[in-house]
Structure 1
Amino acid sequence: MYSVLVPVDEQAERAQAQIDAVLDLPSVTDDVTVELLHVRKELEFADSDDVQIGQIRTDRDEFDDLPETVSTALERLTDAGIETRVNSATGNPPAAIIDIADQLDVDELVVGTRGQSPVGKVLFGSVTQAIILDSDRPVKVVSS
C-alpha cells in the first residue's frame, strides 16, 4: 500500500489543490492510504525541538479543534473511497511534518504552496522550501 502525507493548514484553496493532486494519483482508491496532518505552531515558551503528535482520529466529532479544511479534506477523500486518517501535531511546522512523515513511514508528501507570479514560483514559502530541502522522501508541490 502506498501512503501519502498531506499537511493541511487553514488555507482552503491550498488544501483543495492538495486533495486534487492525491485524487489524480493512479489507482488511488485501491492502493493509497492518506494521512492528513494539521500542525499547530509551537508556543513561544515550548522547547523548539519537541514535536508532539496527536492521536490518530477517526470520529468526525473529534475535529472541533481542527480547521474546517481538515474535515473538508477528510470528507472528499472518504467520499472517493480512500482510506484516510487524521493526525495533529504541535511544533515547528516543517520539522513536525518531516518528523511525522518519518514516524508514519509515508512514501510521499503532497504539500501546497501559495499561488505566485512566474518569478515568485522560483521561491516557495518557507515551510514548503524547508520540507523540500530536509525531507528524504519524495515531495509533490502543488500550487493553489
Structure 2
Amino acid sequence: MVVVAAVDQSNRAETVVKEAKTLGDAFGDPVHVVHVVSRSRFIEMERTEIEKTGHAVDVDRIREYARSVAEEASETFGDDIVSVGLVGDTADEVLAYADEHDARYVVVGPRKRSPTGKVLFGSVAQSILLESERPVVSIRPRDDE
C-alpha cells in the first residue's frame, strides 16, 4: 500500500505532503506525491508552445513538469518520497492513481471557499472526497488561504 498526497502549486502543498509523510511513517507505507496538469492547463501550455516554436508540446515534457511540481512540494521530507506527474482531469487522475497503487489514504488540501463558491466552481478535493473508494484525509485550510 501507499499514501498518495495530491498537491497543487499552492502553499498548502507542503502541509499535504507533511500529513501524508506522517501517515506513511505510521503505517510503514511509501508516500507518492502526485501533481496533475489539468486539461485546460495542458491546452494553454500547448498554445504557448505552438506560438513560440510552431511545434506541439511533448506530453512527456508536461508530465516531467508536473513531476517537478510534486518533487518541489516534497523536497524537505527526504529522498524516499516518489514524485509523480500526470496529465488529465485532476480528480480522475488522482483517484485512478490511488486505485492502481492500492493507496491506504489519499491526502488533499482544499482551498477555503465560501458555500457559494463551492457550488459555482466545484473543487478537485471535493470530487476526490465524494468519489474515492479509499479513505481521504482532508487538511483543513488555514484562515489566510
Shorter-chain TM-score tier = 0.5 to 0.7
> More strand per residue: 1 or 2?
1
1:34-79 CA distances to partner (integer Å, 9 max, x unpaired)? 01111111256xxxxxxxxx7xxxxxxx95x237652333312216
Maintained 8 Å contact 1:3/1:34: yes
Give the alignment's TM-score, normalised by structure 1.
Answer: 0.67
Q: Which has the higher contact order (CA 8 A, sep 6+)?
A: 1
Residue 109 (structure 1) aligned with residue 95 (structure 2): no
How far residue 19 of structure 1 moved from its aligned partner, in angstroms, is 2.0
- Residue identity over aligned pairs, in percent, reads 27
Give the alignment's TM-score, normalised by structure 2.
Answer: 0.67
The residue type equivalent to 1:5 in the other structure is: V
RMSD: 3.3
User: How far apart in 2 are the matches of 1:142 and 1:69?
Assistant: 19
Maintained 8 Å contact 1:111/1:141: yes
Structure 1 pair 14–67 and aligned structure 2 pair: CA distance change class (3 A): farther
The number of aligned residues is 121
Structure 1 pair 143–30 and aligned structure 2 pair: CA distance change class (3 A): closer
Which consecutive residues of structure 1, in runs of 5 or more, have no partner in the other structure? 45-53, 55-61
Out of 85, 92, 99, the position equivalent to 1:95 is 92
> More helix per residue: 1 or 2?
2
Maintained 8 Å contact 1:9/1:67: no
Task: Determine which structure has more spread, i.e. the larger CA radius of gyration.
Answer: 2
The residue type equivalent to 1:137 in the other structure is: R
Aligned partner of 2:71 in structure 1 is: 71
Which consecutive residues of structure 2, in runs of 5 or more, have no partner in the other structure? 44-59
User: How far apart in 2 are the matches of 1:89 and 1:69?
Assistant: 11
Structure 1 pair 34–67 and aligned structure 2 pair: CA distance change class (3 A): closer
**Which stretches of structure 1, 4 residues or more, deviate above 3 A after TM superposition?**
66-69, 122-125
Note the 1:1-144 alignment, pairs <5 A: 2-11=1-10, 13-25=11-23, 28=25, 31-42=28-39, 65-66=65-66, 69-78=69-78, 83-116=80-113, 126-144=123-141
